Amino acid sequence: MITGMIVDDATVMRIRLRDILESRYKIVAEASNGQEALDLYEQYHPDFVTLDITMPQMNGIEALQMLVTLHPEAKVVIVSAVGQKKMVFEAIAKGARDFIIKPFDPNRVLVAIDRLFE
Amino acid sequence: MKAEYANVFVRGATTVFTQEVGVNLSRTGLTRKNAPVPNLPISIVIGITGGIRGQVVYSMDQTFAYAVTKAMIPNKLPSELKKLTNSAVSEIANMITGQASIALAGENDLIHLTPPAVFSGSDMTVDFLSIPTICLSFISEIGSMEINIAFTEGGGAR
Protein backbone atom coordinates (compact mmCIF):
# COMPACT_ATOMS: atom_id res chain seq x y z
CA MET A 1 0.00 0.00 0.00
CA ILE A 2 1.23 3.51 -0.80
CA THR A 3 2.42 5.29 2.34
CA GLY A 4 2.36 8.99 3.24
CA MET A 5 3.51 11.50 5.82
CA ILE A 6 1.58 14.63 6.84
CA VAL A 7 3.56 17.71 7.89
CA ASP A 8 1.63 20.61 9.43
CA ASP A 9 2.03 22.51 12.70
CA ALA A 10 -1.76 22.58 13.24
CA THR A 11 -3.07 19.38 14.86
CA VAL A 12 -6.52 20.07 13.41
CA MET A 13 -5.13 20.16 9.89
CA ARG A 14 -3.21 16.93 10.41
CA ILE A 15 -6.43 15.25 11.60
CA ARG A 16 -8.34 16.52 8.56
CA LEU A 17 -5.67 15.48 6.07
CA ARG A 18 -5.39 12.04 7.70
CA ASP A 19 -9.18 11.59 7.47
CA ILE A 20 -9.09 12.48 3.75
CA LEU A 21 -6.00 10.48 2.79
CA GLU A 22 -6.61 7.31 4.80
CA SER A 23 -9.49 6.41 2.50
CA ARG A 24 -6.81 5.43 -0.07
CA TYR A 25 -3.36 5.55 1.54
CA LYS A 26 -1.58 4.46 4.70
CA ILE A 27 -0.36 7.42 6.74
CA VAL A 28 2.79 6.27 8.52
CA ALA A 29 3.93 9.51 10.17
CA GLU A 30 2.92 13.03 11.17
CA ALA A 31 5.31 15.91 11.80
CA SER A 32 4.65 19.40 13.17
CA ASN A 33 7.72 21.20 11.77
CA GLY A 34 10.32 20.87 9.04
CA GLN A 35 13.06 19.35 11.18
CA GLU A 36 10.74 16.66 12.54
CA ALA A 37 9.65 15.94 8.95
CA LEU A 38 13.26 15.33 7.87
CA ASP A 39 13.86 13.02 10.85
CA LEU A 40 10.67 11.03 10.25
CA TYR A 41 11.32 10.77 6.50
CA GLU A 42 14.63 9.04 7.29
CA GLN A 43 12.80 6.64 9.59
CA TYR A 44 9.75 5.78 7.46
CA HIS A 45 10.65 6.65 3.82
CA PRO A 46 7.02 7.41 2.93
CA ASP A 47 5.99 7.32 -0.75
CA PHE A 48 4.61 10.87 -0.52
CA VAL A 49 4.66 13.88 1.81
CA THR A 50 2.11 16.67 2.29
CA LEU A 51 4.04 19.71 3.53
CA ASP A 52 2.83 22.96 5.09
CA ILE A 53 4.98 26.09 4.67
CA THR A 54 4.38 28.30 7.73
CA MET A 55 5.75 26.26 10.63
CA PRO A 56 8.02 26.91 13.62
CA GLN A 57 11.69 25.81 13.82
CA MET A 58 12.10 24.95 10.13
CA ASN A 59 9.55 26.13 7.57
CA GLY A 60 8.25 24.04 4.69
CA ILE A 61 10.36 25.65 1.96
CA GLU A 62 13.58 24.98 3.89
CA ALA A 63 12.46 21.42 4.64
CA LEU A 64 11.52 20.86 0.99
CA GLN A 65 14.92 22.00 -0.19
CA MET A 66 16.77 19.73 2.26
CA LEU A 67 14.47 16.77 1.67
CA VAL A 68 14.82 16.91 -2.13
CA THR A 69 18.61 17.35 -1.85
CA LEU A 70 18.93 14.32 0.43
CA HIS A 71 16.21 12.26 -1.31
CA PRO A 72 15.70 13.33 -4.94
CA GLU A 73 13.00 10.66 -5.25
CA ALA A 74 10.81 12.32 -2.55
CA LYS A 75 7.32 13.17 -3.77
CA VAL A 76 6.19 16.33 -1.97
CA VAL A 77 2.87 18.17 -2.31
CA ILE A 78 2.69 21.55 -0.57
CA VAL A 79 -0.56 22.21 1.37
CA SER A 80 -0.39 25.80 2.60
CA ALA A 81 -2.45 28.92 3.20
CA VAL A 82 0.35 31.06 1.78
CA GLY A 83 -0.45 30.55 -1.90
CA GLN A 84 1.16 33.73 -3.20
CA LYS A 85 2.26 33.37 -6.84
CA LYS A 86 5.93 33.87 -6.04
CA MET A 87 5.72 31.29 -3.24
CA VAL A 88 4.06 28.72 -5.52
CA PHE A 89 6.76 29.20 -8.20
CA GLU A 90 9.52 28.94 -5.58
CA ALA A 91 8.11 25.70 -4.17
CA ILE A 92 7.71 24.11 -7.60
CA ALA A 93 11.22 25.26 -8.62
CA LYS A 94 12.60 23.63 -5.47
CA GLY A 95 11.01 20.29 -6.22
CA ALA A 96 7.38 20.27 -5.01
CA ARG A 97 5.13 18.24 -7.33
CA ASP A 98 1.98 20.29 -6.61
CA PHE A 99 0.75 23.18 -4.47
CA ILE A 100 -2.65 23.07 -2.75
CA ILE A 101 -3.93 26.29 -1.20
CA LYS A 102 -5.88 26.17 2.09
CA PRO A 103 -8.81 26.15 2.45
CA PHE A 104 -9.03 23.17 0.11
CA ASP A 105 -11.59 20.79 -1.34
CA PRO A 106 -10.83 17.22 -0.09
CA ASN A 107 -11.05 15.93 -3.67
CA ARG A 108 -8.30 18.33 -4.72
CA VAL A 109 -6.00 16.67 -2.18
CA LEU A 110 -6.83 13.14 -3.34
CA VAL A 111 -6.39 14.07 -7.02
CA ALA A 112 -2.98 15.63 -6.29
CA ILE A 113 -1.73 12.52 -4.49
CA ASP A 114 -3.26 10.12 -7.04
CA ARG A 115 -1.40 11.96 -9.83
CA LEU A 116 1.95 11.27 -8.15
CA PHE A 117 1.54 7.56 -8.79
CA GLU A 118 0.01 7.49 -12.28
CA MET B 1 -3.56 52.65 6.25
CA LYS B 2 -5.08 51.75 2.91
CA ALA B 3 -8.74 50.70 2.73
CA GLU B 4 -7.78 47.82 0.43
CA TYR B 5 -6.20 46.08 3.41
CA ALA B 6 -9.59 45.91 5.10
CA ASN B 7 -11.29 44.68 1.93
CA VAL B 8 -8.91 41.74 1.37
CA PHE B 9 -9.39 40.58 4.97
CA VAL B 10 -13.18 40.85 4.69
CA ARG B 11 -13.08 38.75 1.52
CA GLY B 12 -10.64 36.26 3.07
CA ALA B 13 -12.68 35.88 6.25
CA THR B 14 -16.01 35.38 4.48
CA THR B 15 -14.47 32.82 2.08
CA VAL B 16 -12.74 30.83 4.82
CA PHE B 17 -15.76 30.80 7.12
CA THR B 18 -18.10 29.69 4.33
CA GLN B 19 -15.78 26.85 3.29
CA GLU B 20 -14.33 25.70 6.60
CA VAL B 21 -17.01 26.50 9.18
CA GLY B 22 -20.11 26.53 7.00
CA VAL B 23 -21.43 29.86 8.32
CA ASN B 24 -21.95 33.27 6.75
CA LEU B 25 -19.84 35.96 8.35
CA SER B 26 -21.16 39.54 8.08
CA ARG B 27 -19.07 42.63 8.73
CA THR B 28 -20.76 44.88 11.29
CA GLY B 29 -18.19 47.64 11.76
CA LEU B 30 -14.83 49.22 11.03
CA THR B 31 -13.03 51.32 13.64
CA ARG B 32 -9.57 52.85 13.78
CA LYS B 33 -7.25 52.66 16.79
CA ASN B 34 -3.57 53.10 17.70
CA ALA B 35 -2.61 49.45 18.25
CA PRO B 36 -4.08 46.02 17.44
CA VAL B 37 -5.14 45.36 21.03
CA PRO B 38 -7.98 42.80 20.98
CA ASN B 39 -11.37 43.23 22.68
CA LEU B 40 -12.39 39.58 23.11
CA PRO B 41 -10.85 36.92 25.43
CA ILE B 42 -9.13 34.61 22.90
CA SER B 43 -6.55 36.19 20.60
CA ILE B 44 -4.52 34.81 17.71
CA VAL B 45 -1.51 36.89 16.68
CA ILE B 46 0.18 36.54 13.28
CA GLY B 47 3.24 38.59 12.37
CA ILE B 48 3.74 39.82 8.81
CA THR B 49 7.08 40.59 7.11
CA GLY B 50 8.14 41.28 3.54
CA GLY B 51 6.49 43.86 1.26
CA ILE B 52 4.14 44.71 4.14
CA ARG B 53 5.09 44.51 7.83
CA GLY B 54 3.03 44.40 10.99
CA GLN B 55 0.61 42.24 12.95
CA VAL B 56 -2.86 40.80 12.46
CA VAL B 57 -4.69 40.04 15.70
CA TYR B 58 -7.86 37.93 15.59
CA SER B 59 -10.12 37.95 18.62
CA MET B 60 -13.17 35.92 19.68
CA ASP B 61 -14.86 34.37 22.70
CA GLN B 62 -14.77 30.72 23.89
CA THR B 63 -18.19 29.83 22.47
CA PHE B 64 -17.23 31.07 19.04
CA ALA B 65 -13.88 29.25 19.15
CA TYR B 66 -15.54 25.98 20.21
CA ALA B 67 -18.11 26.25 17.41
CA VAL B 68 -15.32 26.78 14.86
CA THR B 69 -13.49 23.68 16.17
CA LYS B 70 -16.63 21.54 16.08
CA ALA B 71 -17.32 22.57 12.48
CA MET B 72 -13.76 21.79 11.35
CA ILE B 73 -13.51 18.33 12.98
CA PRO B 74 -17.12 17.27 13.63
CA ASN B 75 -16.37 13.63 14.49
CA LYS B 76 -14.38 14.32 17.66
CA LEU B 77 -15.70 13.98 21.22
CA PRO B 78 -16.41 17.20 23.19
CA SER B 79 -13.40 16.56 25.48
CA GLU B 80 -11.10 16.29 22.45
CA LEU B 81 -12.64 19.36 20.82
CA LYS B 82 -11.80 21.49 23.86
CA LYS B 83 -8.14 20.45 23.63
CA LEU B 84 -8.04 21.24 19.92
CA THR B 85 -9.66 24.69 20.08
CA ASN B 86 -6.37 26.61 19.95
CA SER B 87 -5.22 24.59 16.97
CA ALA B 88 -8.50 25.15 15.09
CA VAL B 89 -8.69 28.91 15.59
CA SER B 90 -4.98 29.23 14.75
CA GLU B 91 -5.56 27.47 11.48
CA ILE B 92 -8.59 29.61 10.64
CA ALA B 93 -6.53 32.76 11.32
CA ASN B 94 -3.69 31.35 9.23
CA MET B 95 -6.04 30.66 6.30
CA ILE B 96 -7.64 34.12 6.41
CA THR B 97 -4.25 35.84 6.60
CA GLY B 98 -2.99 33.55 3.84
CA GLN B 99 -5.91 34.49 1.57
CA ALA B 100 -5.29 38.18 2.26
CA SER B 101 -1.56 37.75 1.59
CA ILE B 102 -2.29 36.25 -1.83
CA ALA B 103 -4.26 39.37 -2.79
CA LEU B 104 -1.75 41.79 -1.25
CA ALA B 105 1.36 40.16 -2.72
CA GLY B 106 0.04 40.22 -6.29
CA GLU B 107 2.39 38.97 -9.01
CA ASN B 108 5.76 40.06 -7.71
CA ASP B 109 5.81 40.55 -3.95
CA LEU B 110 6.39 37.98 -1.25
CA ILE B 111 4.75 38.33 2.15
CA HIS B 112 5.83 36.04 4.98
CA LEU B 113 3.56 35.04 7.88
CA THR B 114 4.74 33.85 11.28
CA PRO B 115 3.07 30.75 12.75
CA PRO B 116 -0.03 31.86 14.73
CA ALA B 117 0.34 32.39 18.49
CA VAL B 118 -2.80 31.96 20.66
CA PHE B 119 -3.36 33.91 23.89
CA SER B 120 -6.30 33.71 26.24
CA GLY B 121 -7.37 34.69 29.74
CA SER B 122 -7.35 37.87 31.77
CA ASP B 123 -3.65 37.56 32.66
CA MET B 124 -2.64 37.92 29.03
CA THR B 125 0.38 40.18 28.52
CA VAL B 126 1.36 40.67 24.90
CA ASP B 127 3.38 43.47 23.32
CA PHE B 128 1.30 44.78 20.47
CA LEU B 129 2.82 47.09 17.88
CA SER B 130 2.00 50.78 18.30
CA ILE B 131 0.91 51.48 14.77
CA PRO B 132 -2.37 52.65 13.24
CA THR B 133 -4.85 49.77 13.24
CA ILE B 134 -8.09 48.97 11.45
CA CYS B 135 -10.44 46.86 13.57
CA LEU B 136 -13.03 44.87 11.60
CA SER B 137 -16.00 43.44 13.50
CA PHE B 138 -17.99 40.45 12.26
CA ILE B 139 -21.11 38.63 13.37
CA SER B 140 -22.46 35.20 12.47
CA GLU B 141 -24.87 32.57 13.79
CA ILE B 142 -22.06 31.23 16.05
CA GLY B 143 -21.15 34.61 17.55
CA SER B 144 -18.78 37.53 17.03
CA MET B 145 -15.19 37.91 15.90
CA GLU B 146 -12.87 40.83 15.20
CA ILE B 147 -9.76 41.25 13.07
CA ASN B 148 -7.24 43.95 13.99
CA ILE B 149 -4.98 44.83 11.07
CA ALA B 150 -1.83 46.83 11.87
CA PHE B 151 0.42 47.27 8.84
CA THR B 152 3.26 49.53 7.77
CA GLU B 153 4.70 49.62 4.26
CA GLY B 154 8.43 50.05 3.71
CA GLY B 155 9.31 51.50 7.12
CA GLY B 156 9.81 49.37 10.19
CA ALA B 157 7.01 48.58 12.65
CA ARG B 158 7.85 49.41 16.28
pLDDT in the model for residue B157: 43
- Residues from chain A that touch B72, judged by Cβ atoms under 8 A, are 12, 16
Angle of helix B78-105 relative to helix A85-93, nearest 10 degrees, comes to 100
Q: What is the mean pLDDT of chain A?
A: 97
Q: H/E element holding B65?
A: helix B62-72
Region A21-47: what's the mean pLDDT? Answer: 97
Q: Radius of gyration of chain A from Cα atoms?
A: 12
pTM: predicted TM-score of the whole model, two decimal places? 0.94
pLDDT in the model for residue B108: 80
- Residues from chain B that touch A81, judged by Cβ atoms under 8 A, are 94-95, 97-99, 113
Give the C-alpha distances (Å, rounded to integers) separating B137 from A81, B7, B67, B133, B145.
22, 13, 18, 13, 6
pLDDT in the model for residue B94: 97
CB B23 within 8 A of CB B4: no
Q: Radius of gyration of chain B from Cα atoms?
A: 15
Tens digit of each residue's pLDDT (9 = 90 or more) over B111-120: 999 999 999 8
Between A and B, how many CB-CB pairs are < 8 A? 73
Region B107-130: what's the mean pLDDT? Answer: 84
Give the C-alpha distances (Å, rounded to integers) separating B46 from B90, B112, B117.
9, 10, 7
Burial of A72 (0-12, 13-18, 19+ CB in 10 A): exposed
Give me the percent of chain A exceeding a pLDDT of 90.
99
Please answer yes or no on whether A12 and B87 come within 8 Å at the CB atom: yes
Question: Which is higher by pLDDT, B52 or A43?
Answer: A43
Please answer yes or no on whether A81 and B95 come within 8 Å at the CB atom: yes
Please answer yes or no on whether A103 and B15 come within 8 Å at the CB atom: yes
C-alpha torsion B80→B86→B91→B94, nearest 10: 180
- Evaluated on CA atoms B47, A64, A88, A52, the torsion sign reads negative
Question: Is the pLDDT assigned to residue A29 strictly greater than 60?
Answer: yes
Tens digit of each residue's pLDDT (9 = 90 or more) over B31-73: 999 999 999 999 999 999 998 999 999 999 999 999 999 999 9
Give me the percent of chain A exceeding a pLDDT of 70.
100
**Cβ burial A14-28 (10 Å sphere, 16+ → b, else e):** bbbbeebbeeebebb
Question: Is the pLDDT assigned to residue A90 strictly greater than 70?
Answer: yes
DSSP B21: I
- pLDDT band of residue B155 (cuts 50, 70, 90) is very low
Q: By CA distance, what is A17's nearest residue in B?
A: B73
